Structure 1
Amino acid sequence: MNNVKSLNKWANAHTYLPVDILRMALGVFLFMKGVYFFSNTQYLIDLLSPIDKFDKFGGGMFLIHYIAPAHLIGGILIFFGLLTRWAIAGQLPILISAIIINFMGQMHHQNLLLAILTLGVCIFFLIYGGGKNSADYYFKMQQ
């Protein structure tokens, strides 16, 4: 708990507007990916096809129903800076799996680059937190 408090103090002392805009852009990007996956489920099924060979118990359908809502809800939470670290933690397994799946099946360079870039930004905000211009900071100051 002391580590999180010290990270929050450091982040609040070093908060800049471009970092908040980057957090909001990440939230919008993840939200739009969730909308795209909901509207094009066949595309998501095609992306998950390399792990379908190993799927014996219907886990692929679970993944389809986890990825799109996690992106939707996580994107909204990240945009507003509400429960930022928890929302990022929900995105990490999806992004790490996206990178691994690219190496298992046919290589999609654009998807791989997007997943690596998004993972890097997510790891940054996992450490940095929501920042000073976030709902987390606002609610913390209301206590």
Structure 2
Amino acid sequence: MNLIQKIEHWGDMHHAKWLDIARVILGLVVLGKGILFISDTQAQIDWVTRNNTFGFSGMLVLALIHVIAFTHLAGGILITLGLVTRFAVVIQIPILIGAVFFVNLTQGFSLLNSELWISIVVLLLMIVFWVIGSGPYSVDSWMKNRKSQKVDKPKEYSARKPISRKTSPKTKNK
């Protein structure tokens, strides 16, 4: 077993049920951020072109904003449902690292910069759910349990012998 499998196994075995509530809230926050990206793309474009750290062109900025919005929308839904949670979280982590270091840190490291603190908390929660997975109240868990029930089904149920229709002793006498 390699290191990643060991971490996943440990996370599956040590998952508190209250973390599922935190996972759902995290998914809704990420989904809401994706909706904000879609609802005001012009403000996002203006901010990126004003603080153009990497020298992106206008078309690349537009593509980047749409990729981030789609990733937040799809990832937020997947995290909320608990469906392929580790994959959805891994896709979000680079975006959140960019949000912490390139977007929110430029506004200053103070208590008043709430976007920075929200981004840091969301990033830390993403790392936590990358390690521990989706939990018992998730679509992943439901699908795993459903699959194991199909595998554990005894063979006698699937291969029943037909019931023979014997006549009762009373009908033979008539």
- CA distance in 2 between counterparts of 1:131 and 1:11 reads 9
- Over the matched positions of the two proteins, sequence identity in percent amounts to 36
> In the alignment, which of 123, 126, 144 is matched to residue 119 of structure 1?
123
Report how many residues are paired. 143
Q: Structure 1: which 5+ residue stretches go unaligned?
A: none
TM-score by length of 2: 0.72
The answer to whether the 8 Å contact 2:12/2:132 transfers is no
Q: Which amino acid aligns with 1:95?
A: L
Tell me which structure has the larger Cα radius of gyration. 2
Q: Which amino acid aligns with 1:110?
A: S
Distance 1:91 1:47, change over 3 A: farther
- The offset of 1:141, in angstroms, is 2.4
**Residues 1:128 and 2:132 aligned together:** yes
The residue correspondences of 1:84-99 to structure 2 (distance < 5 A) are: 84-99=85-100
Q: Which amino acid aligns with 2:56?
A: D
Q: Which amino acid aligns with 1:7?
A: I
Computed over aligned residues only, the root mean square deviation of the Cα atoms, in angstroms, reads 2.3
Q: Which amino acid aligns with 1:26?
A: L
Q: Which runs of 4+ in 1 moved over 6 A?
A: none
Distance 1:54 1:7, change over 3 A: same
Q: Which amino acid aligns with 1:31?
A: L
- CA distance in 2 between counterparts of 1:17 and 1:104 reads 34
Q: Which residue of 2 aligns with 1:79?
A: 80
Q: Which amino acid aligns with 1:23?
A: R
Distance 1:4 1:135, change over 3 A: farther
Larger RCO (CA within 8 A; separation ≥ 6): 1
The answer to whether the 8 Å contact 1:28/1:75 transfers is yes
The answer to whether the 8 Å contact 1:48/1:101 transfers is no
- The offset of 1:38, in angstroms, is 0.7
The answer to whether the 8 Å contact 1:95/1:115 transfers is yes
Q: Which residue of 2 aligns with 1:11?
A: 11
Distance 1:60 1:19, change over 3 A: same
- CA distance in 1 between counterparts of 2:104 and 2:75 reads 25
Structure in which a larger fraction of residues adopt helix: 1
- CA distance in 2 between counterparts of 1:45 and 1:107 reads 21
